[in-house]
Structures are given as structure tokens and as C-alpha cells.
């Protein structure tokens, strides 16, 4: 059993200004009082949106966007998967940015939302062009590792392991890990702290 193969994501963009945007801002802690991820999309960037009426997630022109454009170190801080879940349930299918925090990147990968990096200059340009032309269709291609925006093509990057998980449809890793079978128990049996020294 595998997860869906993800080769390409097309759709409109939503540009998010700022660097070091942490997962507390993506989904504030009080919304983590829940036992499912259902409905989290309603609270994405709740406090930032409250404080800034012009926040991109408040703007009608970005409704229906599927590619989020961010800056540097996006998703730092807490490991809460609620953050990528809230974005995904809002409609985000892929994230393009200057750089990503590691746990956030892994959480996005595990739910089938690819995060790719582009140069700082390209990230800035992409945010500007999407803000000016919110109707523009963007195309993120994981085979060619490119982002198409209008008549421009940007080089995108992603660690090879994660990229292959999307292209092979193995990003939901539970079943891949289960395929190891008894090798898991054999590894455990060689660890002295498992066997009791």
C-alpha cells in the first residue's frame, strides 16, 4: 500500500511576508486543544489575521490558492503537526520558500505537502509577482524541480530523500517502514538496553 504519487502541483499562489514565522503563529496553542485535526483551517494564522486586516489569509483574492510562498526559516519552533494540517485543510498543497525548519518540513512531507526552496531573490520576486497578479497560475514540478510563474522558470530544491518519497508515492511512511518486517525485531535484539544489558 502506498500514498499518492505527487509529481506536480498547479494553482494560484498566496504570498506571506516575513521570516522566521513559527508554528505558534501558524496555529496558536489554544487551538491545539482538540483530539482531531478537523476544522483547524478556520484558525490558521488566527492572531496575525486578527492583528492585521490586510493579512494575506484575510484577502478574498487569495481564496482558493494552493501554493504558499514564504521567506526564511518558515515553520520554526513547535513540532505541532496542527500547523501543516491547518494549512493543508485551508487548501495549501505545496509551499515554496527561502528555507524551512526541519520538523515542519518533515511534518509537511508526512502529509503529502511538498516544501521546496528557491533562492532568496526568487522567493522575493515570486511573492511580489503573486501579490500583483493573484490570478496567475503557478506550477511546481518535482520531477524537473522547477517553479513556473508566467513566462519565468525558477530552480527549486528539495532533499533527494523527500523528493523521491513524493515521486514514488511513499511519503506516508508507515507502510514502507512495516515492509522491513522482522528486521525491526532483529535490530532491537542487538541493542543492549532493549535486551536488558
Partner 1 sequence: MAETLLDKVWRLHTVRELPSGQTQLFIGLHLIHEVTSPQAFLMLRELGLKVRFPNRTFATIDHIVPTDSQARPFADWLAEQMTVALVKNCQDFGITLFDLGSGRQGIVHVIGPELGLTQPGMTIACGDSHTSTHGAFGALAFGIGTSQVRDVLATQCLAMSKPKLRRIVVEGTLPRGVYAKDVILAIIRRLGVKGGVGYAYEYAGSTIVAMTMEERMTLCNMTIEGGARIGYVNPDRTTFEYLRGRPFAPQGEAFERAVQWWQQIASDPGATYDDEVHFDAATLQPMVTWGITPGQSVGVTEPIPEPEEVPEAERAAYWEALDFMSFRPGQRLIGTPIDVAFIGSCTNSRLSDLRVAAEIVRGRKVARGVRALVVPGSEAVARAAEAEGLHEIFQDAGFEWRKPGCSMCLGMNPDRLRGREICASSSNRNFKGRQGSPTGRTLLMSPAMVAAAAIAGHVVDVREVLR
CB atoms within 10 A of CB 97: 24
Beta carbon nearer to partner 1, 12 or 84? 84
11's CB contacts (< 8 A; 6+ apart) are 64, 65, 66, 67, 93, 137, 138
State the burial class of residue 45 (Cβ atoms within 10 Å of its Cβ: 0-12, 13-18, 19+): buried
Q: Applying CB under 8 A, does 144 fall inside the site for partner 1?
A: no
Q: How far is the CB of 178 from partner 1 (least distance, A)?
A: 6
Number of amino acids touching partner 1 (CB under 8 A): 67
All cell numbers assigned to 132? 500583483
- Are 94 and 148 in contact by the 8 Å Cβ rule? The answer is no
Q: Applying CB under 8 A, does 27 fall inside the site for partner 1?
A: no
Q: Applying CB under 8 A, does 174 fall inside the site for partner 1?
A: yes
The residues binding partner 1 (CB under 8 A) are 17-20, 22, 24-25, 28-30, 32-37, 46-48, 50-51, 72-73, 76-82, 84, 99-103, 106-107, 110-111, 120, 159-162, 164-165, 168, 170, 172-174, 176-178, 180, 183-184, 187-188, 190-194, 196-197
Amino acid at each position: 500500500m502506498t500514498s499518492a504519487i505527487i509529481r506536480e502541483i498547479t494553482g494560484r499562489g498566496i504570498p506571506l511576508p516575513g521570516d522566521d514565522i513559527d508554528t505558534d503563529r501558524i496555529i496558536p496553542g489554544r487551538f491545539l486543544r482538540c483530539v482531531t485535526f478537523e476544522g483547524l483551517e478556520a484558525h490558521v494564522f488566527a492572531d496575525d489575521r486578527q492583528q492585521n486586516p490586510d493579512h494575506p489569509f484575510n484577502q478574498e483574492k487569495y481564496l482558493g490558492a494552493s501554493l504558499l510562498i514564504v521567506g526564511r526559516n518558515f515553520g520554526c519552533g513547535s513540532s505541532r503537526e496542527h500547523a501543516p494540517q491547518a494549512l493543508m485543510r485551508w487548501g495549501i498543497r505545496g509551499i515554496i520558500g527561502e528555507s524551512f525548519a526541519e520538523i515542519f518540513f518533515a511534518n509537511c512531507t508526512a502529509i503529502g505537502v511538498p516544501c521546496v526552496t528557491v533562492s532568496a531573490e526568487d522567493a522575493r520576486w515570486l511573492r511580489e509577482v503573486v501579490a500583483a497578479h493573484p490570478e496567475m497560475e503557478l506550477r511546481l514540478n518535482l520531477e524537473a524541480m522547477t517553479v513556473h510563474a508566467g513566462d519565468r522558470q525558477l530552480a527549486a530544491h528539495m532533499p533527494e530523500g523527500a523528493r523521491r518519497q513524493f515521486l514514488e508515492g511513499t511519503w506516508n511512511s508507515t507502510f514502507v517502514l512495516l515492509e522491513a518486517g522482522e528486521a525491526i525485531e532483529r535490530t532491537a535484539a542487538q541493542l543492549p538496553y532493549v535486551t536488558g544489558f
